[in-house]
Amino acid sequence: MVMGSLPEAVDVAVIGGGVGGYFAAIHAAQLGKHVALIEKEKLGGHCLNYACIPSKTMIKVADMFYEIQHAEDFGIHVGEIHIDAAELNKWRVEASAKLENGVGFLCKSNGVEVVKGTAVFTSSSSLQIGGGGSIDFEKAIIATGSEPTVLKGFEFNDRILDYKQALLLDYVPETMVILGAGYVAVELGMLYAKLGTRVSIVARSDVLSHFDRDAIELVKKKMDELGIKVYTGVTPVSYDPNAVTLSDGKRVFASLIVVAVGLSPYTEGLGLASTQVKLDERGFIKVDNALRTTDPNILAIGDVIGDPLLAHKAMRQGVVAAEVAAGKNAGYDNIVVPAVIFSDPEIAIAGEIEGEGLKVTKFPLTALGRAVALKATNGFVKIAADENNVVRGVEIVSDDAGDIIGEAVVAIEMGATLEDIADSIHPHPTYSEALQEAAEAALGRSIHYFYGK
């Protein structure tokens, strides 16, 4: 890691060491380029240190804690158990640190020069590095990601937290109100409810309002079982030391307030005015299908260029941007970007599950052997195909849905048909069989569920 001395000039400068940034840097180095990766905080960025990895660690632990307390149906009887939140937080931090160190090792092994500091464009071919020094470049890749959106009147302080701070707590709060109703709010709310927090969610419309209602109703049912109170059709107006006041006059009492109303692109302080880079009306960087900005020397990837704001999208774009920066004829032409909500049950979506000309078939987990055996029948698989039986979309609602959706992504990208999935042998007994069962049902040959004659 370069701390004192800086490379005077590089082929490719990558600004931001999150998942998209380090993918771009490593791949550019693999292509023979001299690369500098500039990161002001921790390698791995928000995903590895504050979001994806920490939240899924916490969700797994919360699930274990909850399942142990509800294991009587399986003949397991336990006494009183408790959660050591400080020890849990220590494990979360250690897991992220291990992965961060791994990224550093990979950068070093591939010849990437890691520069600790901020980067500001002084022209379309040079960067000023915080603390002194500059780097000239042939191509630059902006991978600065996003940051939690601030809600006016609820600016962050010791009591009002963003999602990152909410995942860093070394105690389990008694009460929590979450402002926002997207996937971050749902994941945070369910994990803390399972740890014993009394959770309230304030939704301007409804929770996960942009997702399939069949799936959301199952999640809402579980949220109700967990005691999560959802206030819909209202907005937060003000707060005092004890409660949040809503637009309908109701007061929601909570010791902590978490603002989870979305993410905003991180472009402040980059010096983009010294370049030809342009932003759209929402503040995201404009790019073409090769991830080139309006400045011929500068590319951009990940959250900073707009929806969907997902780590795995940034990873793929990092690889593409590296190839474009290296002079290769590459483009970001992926057909589908999967989305996973790590709720209970999990929701995973790839492609379109509704639309003109699509036939949608739903297979319930009540007919799946593994789900019945594990008392996890709260879910289904939907598969959508066109008139030629080409698979256009899949939705999975089940335990481990996020681990299964990859098969659907490959199927859609390759133009697979219902027959391709139905005729491929899936291991038994697994949740992945539900995708095969859905394809068989779509073909009118369901074995384990009777759809009628």
Residues serving a catalytic function are 428
Q: Yes or no: say if 168 and 89 are a contact pair by the CB < 8 Å rule.
A: yes
Q: DSSP of 276-290, one letter per residue?
A: S--B-TTSPBP--TT
In this structure, is the dihedral angle defined by the CA atoms of residues 272, 274, 279 and 285, taken in order, positive or negative?
negative
C-alpha 365/C-alpha 171 separation (Å) is: 36
C-alpha 292/C-alpha 330 separation (Å) is: 11
Task: Name residues whose C-beta falls within 8 Å of residue 162's C-beta, 6 or more positions apart in sequence.
Answer: 148, 156, 258, 259, 260
Q: Yes or no: say if 391 and 383 are a contact pair by the CB < 8 Å rule.
A: yes
First to last CA, the chain: 67
In a 13 Å sphere around the CA of 85, the CA atoms on its Cβ side amount to 15
Q: CB 309: neighbour CB atoms within 10 A?
A: 18
In a 13 Å sphere around the CA of 27, the CA atoms on its Cβ side amount to 21
In 3D space, the residue among 375, 378, 413, 368 whose CA is nearest the CA of residue 394 turns out to be 413
C-alpha 220/C-alpha 207 separation (Å) is: 8
**150 token code pair:** 């601030």
SS3 content of the chain, % helix, strand, coil (to 5): 35, 25, 40
In 3D space, the residue among 147, 257, 129 whose CA is nearest the CA of residue 197 turns out to be 257
Residue 451 DSSP one-character state: -
Q: What are phi and psi of 396, to 5 degrees?
A: -120, 125
Q: How many residues does the chain have?
A: 453
